[in-house]
Structure 1
Amino acid sequence: MKGTELYDDPEFLRGYRELRQARLGINDALEIPAMAAALPPVEGLRVVDLGCGEGDLAVRLAEAGAAEVMAVDASAQMLAAAVPHPRVQYVRADLAQFNVPRGFADLVVSSMALHYVADFDALAGRVFRWLRDAGAFVFTIEHPMVTAPMVAADCVVDDYADEGRRERTWFVDGVVKYHRTIGTVVGVLRRHGFRLELLDEPLPTVDQVAAQPHLALHRRRPPILLVSARA
């Protein structure tokens, strides 16, 4: 099941929303604060949010002063539940085909979505064209240590060099993600002209694990790769 249809599957969507509502995932504890720290000041910027889901990040950016946020997602169900905001425009589109004019954006962001995209190289090239001079591309993806194994396991990293399609069971069977090494992610960005500003692996602190034991796994191997690059 690919990203374009995954979040419209009722069984998957029910499990995903229960996880987010219970705050048992990595989003609230790790990804959201790490992304917030990596973002440039957004006052007055035009932003594109790729894989916006229900619009949490898009609305946070608008409330922080972004002049306009174009928030893009393939899921009709996620967009139907998105929080409205006068400076957020929601667009339903597959990221593999989505495009905007050259120089359209000051900032492009994506939160835990690009590991569903088969052709990261093509997407990075489009993002570079969308950005104005010195515009930023800030995104998080599942860490390659998580996506690497052909057969998913808690902490066994295997088949790291064999990039490409992976199928996982996550609420439903057959969830399709794409594994790329850290070197490939950085190399693609540099080849398209990006200048790397930040490469980070957000991890829970010892105190966070003590308060939320379900985070212990994520000290054994990093769950997230965060990248910030400039055009």
Structure 2
Amino acid sequence: MAQQNIFDNETFFDGYKKLRAGEKNANDLFEIPVLFSLLPDMKGKRVLDLGCGFGEHCKEYVRMGAERVYGIDISEKMLEVARKENSDPKITYELMPIEDIGKITEKFDIVISSLAFHYVEDFSGAVKTINSLLADGGQFIFSQEHPFSTCFSGGERWTRDENGEKIYLNLKGYGYERENESSWFVDNIKKYHRMFSTIVNTLVEGGFVIDKMVEPLPNDEILAKYPDYTDLYHKPDFLIIRASKK
């Protein structure tokens, strides 16, 4: 089965780049700071970045002391930017979907992934392969869209008051684990919904111990600058997990 490669769609790619360049984007405000806060000491570490995108994280891991960084992504457009703007002798970039990481023969101390696993259908298979690629005591740190987001499959996401302010989230179909299609810059983007329990149990059954889970929320400083992010108290955007190989 062919893997989805939405990031090489010109319309999607341009829209995504503009979004990430904006000061208010949720990745920079919430997801990335938490992801990096969960990293161990990177000195001398061998790192595998799954869905490395533009390679900015890979370059940062080298700055933090990583000895070897291997970044894979399914998007040639993403990797073109990575090789041009974030290259380093300690970094190798390769065109590869997450589903094919079983082809990798080396071992790593840390496997990291930022917002990629909601695009992967076989989460269980990926988790087991990641475990096999990690050295003893290795860590798997990843973020994904929050399960309250991945279960959304159309209709009105929020109930609002007479002024249009969000009162609460309209949640339905959470227990139906499935492939959903959504529109984000383009139509028919495939994402895979899994419940919290499935994510946790898959990690445990795949040979991991869960160290920490975070659902990032805005602090007072962010709310003062961007009050719209109050809605994260109804529905966090991200789920971030650090797990260790048993």
Q: TM-score range by the shorter chain?
A: over 0.9
Q: Select which of 153, 171, 182 maps to 1:157.
A: 171
Partner Cα distance (1:5, 1:192) in 2: 26
Q: Which moved more, 1:189-198 or 1:201-210?
A: 201-210
Is the partner of 2:136 in helix, strand or coil? strand
Residue identity in the other structure for 1:9: N
C-alpha spacing 1:3/1:61, structure 2 compared with 1 (3 Å): farther
Q: Which segments of structure 1 move beyond 4 Å, counting only runs of 4 or more?
A: none
Q: TM-score w.r.t. structure 1 length?
A: 0.95
5+ long unaligned stretches in structure 2 = 159-168
CA contact (8 A) 1:3 1:176 kept: no
Give 1:3 deviation, angstroms: 6.5
1:216 shift after superposition: 2.9
Mapped contact 2:101–2:129 kept (Cα < 8 A): no
- Separation in 2, partners of 1:169, 1:206: 31
Task: Measure, in 1, the Cα distance between the counterparts of 2:243 and 2:186.
Answer: 34
Q: 1:87 aligns with which of 72, 90, 93?
A: 90
CA contact (8 A) 2:58 2:91 kept: yes
Alignment-mate amino acid for residue 18 of structure 2: E
Pairing 1:186-205 to 2, within 5 Å after superposition: 186-205=200-219
1:209 CA displacement:
1.8
The equivalent of 2:37 in structure 1 is 37
What CA deviation, in whole Å up to 9, does each residue of 1:42-86 have, x standing for no partner? 110100000000011111111100000100000000000112122
State the one-letter code of the partner of 2:192. Y
- Provide closer, same or farther for how the CA distance between residues 64 and 227 of structure 1 changes in structure 2, counting only shifts above 3 A: same
Q: How does 1:49-198 map to 2 (within 5 A)?
A: 49-82=49-82, 83-99=86-102, 100-101=104-105, 104-151=107-154, 153-154=157-158, 155-198=169-212
* Residue correspondence of structure 1 range 204-223 to structure 2 within 5 A: 204-223=218-237
Matched positions, count:
229
Tell me by how many angstroms 1:98 deviates.
2.2
SS at match of 2:8: coil
Question: Given residue 170 of structure 1, which amino acid in structure 2 is its aligned partner?
Answer: W
- Structure with max Cα Rg: 2
- What CA deviation, in whole Å up to 9, does each residue of 1:166-185 have, x standing for no partner? 11111111111111111101
Amino acid at match of 1:164: R
Displacement, 1:140?
Answer: 0.3
- Partner residue, 2:238: 224
Does the aligned pair in 2 maintain the 1:71–1:90 contact within 8 Å?
A: yes
Question: Alignment RMSD, CA only?
Answer: 1.4
The separation in 2 between residues aligned to 1:162 and 1:4, in whole angstroms, is: 21
Change (3 A) 1:198 1:208: same
Q: State the distance in 2 between where 1:190 and 1:159 align.
A: 25
TM-score (norm 2): 0.89
Alignment partners' CA distance in 1, 2:96 and 2:144: 19
Percent identity, aligned pairs only, is 33
- Deviation string 1:68-114 (CA, Å, 9 cap, x unpaired) is 0100000000000112122111010111122222x601000000111
Which amino acid in 2 is paired with 1:186?
A: V
Which deviations, in whole Å up to 9, do the C-alpha atoms of 1:10-56 show, x marking residues without a partner? 10011111111113321110011101111111110100000000011
How far did 1:205 drift? Answer: 1.6
Q: Secondary structure at the match of 1:230?
A: strand
| Separation in structure 1 between the aligned mates of residue 52 and residue 149 of structure 2, nearest angstrom | 22
In structure 2, distance between residues paired with 1:40 and 1:164: 34
**Is residue 115–residue 142 contact of structure 1 (8 Å, CA) maintained in 2?**
yes
